[in-house]
Chains A and B, each alone.
Chain A
């Protein structure tokens, strides 16, 4: 009876995920094999094409840079927030998380206004005389990275505040009582204990930026094509569905691969794992 209950309760969810997620994605990946031209031919086409390789590497590069910058910015903010007394801390967390809830379109579009030829940044730079002609900042790797960092910093802050608060206060007091200056306590106690959580945050941001669509579409356009926008183009513009499926398969492999590897590392490094 209990057997029936536990499977009965989970069955609808299991069926939904399997039928509408697992199976379609497997079909997509399977569609990349079994080409007449050879089992791996779509992949060979992909990796021998200079253009496609560039898209992949550009995506990896942008994702790495975004992750690094978000880590640094996020950690500084999270560190300060974690030290704040209750009331101020809640306000700061809400302020940091609010952008997360406004959606990707709104947040990417803001940078169009700021970085455009008639945008705020150009206006300011022109008026103080740093430049004589408006800079073309959009549709560059830089504009994509700025918008991506803006997208992911709140997520990083949220993750890292949780991580830092998970470090018991009395460990910090113990270190201080043993003579560790605040800097030494940070280096020898806080940082090592926060590292597993840092890895988790980094993985979230990396996979998120690697698979992003809306932000590269708005701020990168065709000049800065990334895997997400490339997939869309192959599927809905050129109707090259095998090509699109190939891109999809590579994205899945990279995402799941990174998550699996980094989770292992994070768990191995976590001394407080229960």
Chain B
């Protein structure tokens, strides 16, 4: 049973502060969409609205053809996985997993069986009689997962489920979560502040800021073609250069930025270049060379990254972080040229 989730023009307030303004989002049947952003961006608020712990001041939430907006939280039939696991400390692991089934009036025998089977699926068979206090972080997370899955909800929601686990466990667990989600085909909404996590497991990601969705796309598109400077900076385009095209010769565009800095870009490599735009470059997007075509710069502090050198550069257009080859370490104070590397750059239209 797969349904789609549609959030339509939701607004939410905490007292006088507007936390979400006119937010809309759809998650297709069987899709896993992540809400990604730093704290305060509104991602958790959105999740709590869908869960029913918060009431929107306007807008609707629909799951399949059910309108959730006025439904009380306990009637929404959504599986929730919490950041701090929220396991009931006074119930055994088995009773924890069976809790949702008990609320649905399933007979004891049947629900214990189902809970036991789910525990096996998450790799925790044999731990049914333990109390949550005796489990490790990773085990607790699996119990939380099992508890949400066993009720076979039409929608699963994850509230930063892995942030309390250590790095290695986080990677292993996110793969497991994705595999379980894919196997069940359950529509899922996933909240996280970890970009790598969101990109590695999601079908699409919504990058959020200040209560708005800045861009909703597949991870590949977000990474390569950010729609605005917020998203660009978020996915790692550290350097944002506002430029104006001053000369066009066929596919070659010469652009000028502040301070008279000049750079030549080919539309063959970069795609169509408007007259006024922002060039976004990762540190790898501007290659530090002794001479050649590119932005002139003076090099500052050099740091060793292992795979490259990184330079703090001063250019007429501003300060830039750029990487250079290990074979050519350049001294601080020397003049250099920053050559654009098209695959590590993006073009943005300036009004966003």
Contacts and interface: CB of A to CB of B under 8 A. Distances in A.
A55 interface: no
Given A173-B51, A271-B131, A272-B89, A168 B84 contact: yes
Contacts of A175: 88, 99
Interface string B70-100: 0001111111101110111110000000011
Contacts of B151: 178-179
A118 interface: no
Most buried by A among B100, B103, B147: B103
A142 interface: no
B147 A271 contact: no
A258 interface: no
A60 B276 CA distance: 88
Given A175-B99, A180-B103, A271 B89 contact: yes
B188 to A, nearest CB: 14
A174 B103 CA distance: 12
A174 B82 contact: yes
A173 B90 contact: no
Nearest to B99: A178
Interface string A238-270: 000000000000000000000000000000000
A133 to B, nearest CB: 54
Interface string B118-144: 000000000000010100000000000
A179 B77 contact: yes
A271 B298 CA distance: 63
Interface in A151-165: none
A185 B79 CA distance: 16
A134 B160 CA distance: 67
B74 A174 contact: no
A173 B53 contact: yes
B104 interface: yes
A170 B87 CA distance: 9
A113 interface: no
Contacts of A180: 74, 99, 103
A268 to B, nearest CB: 12
A90 interface: no
Interface in A172-206: 173-182, 184-185, 188-189, 192-193
A186 to B, nearest CB: 12
A168 B86 contact: yes
A171 interface: yes
A197 to B, nearest CB: 13
Given A179-B100, A271-B133, A170 B82 contact: yes
Contacts of A271: 89-90, 131, 133
Contacts of A170: 82-84, 86
Contacts of B53: 173, 176
A193 B133 CA distance: 14
A174 B88 contact: yes
A179 B104 contact: yes
A272 B133 CA distance: 8
Looking at A176, A184, A193, the one whose CB has the most chain B CB atoms below 10 A away is A176
Given A174-B80, A271-B131, A271-B133, A179 B86 contact: no
A185 B82 CA distance: 17
Given A179-B100, A179-B104, A271-B133, A174 B73 contact: no
Contact of A176 (B74, B79, B104): B74
Nearest to A196: B90
A239 B351 CA distance: 96
A180 to B, nearest CB: 5
B213 to A, nearest CB: 24
Most chain-A Cβ atoms within 10 A of its Cβ — which of B78, B84, B99?
B99
A184 B103 contact: yes
A181 B77 CA distance: 12
Contacts of B80: 173-174, 177-178
Contact of A171 (B51, B74, B88, B102): B88
Interface in B53-83: 53, 73-80, 82-83
Nearest to B76: A177
Contact of B88 (A176, A179, A182, A189): A189
13 contacts: A173-B82, A174-B86, A174-B147, A176-B74, A178-B103, A179-B77, A179-B100, A181-B103, A182-B74, A271-B89, A271-B90, A272-B90, A272-B133
Given A170-B83, A181-B103, 12 more contacts: A174-B86, A175-B88, A176-B74, A177-B74, A178-B80, A178-B99, A178-B103, A178-B151, A179-B77, A179-B100, A179-B151, A271-B89
Interface of A: 168, 170-171, 173-182, 184-185, 188-189, 192-193, 271-272
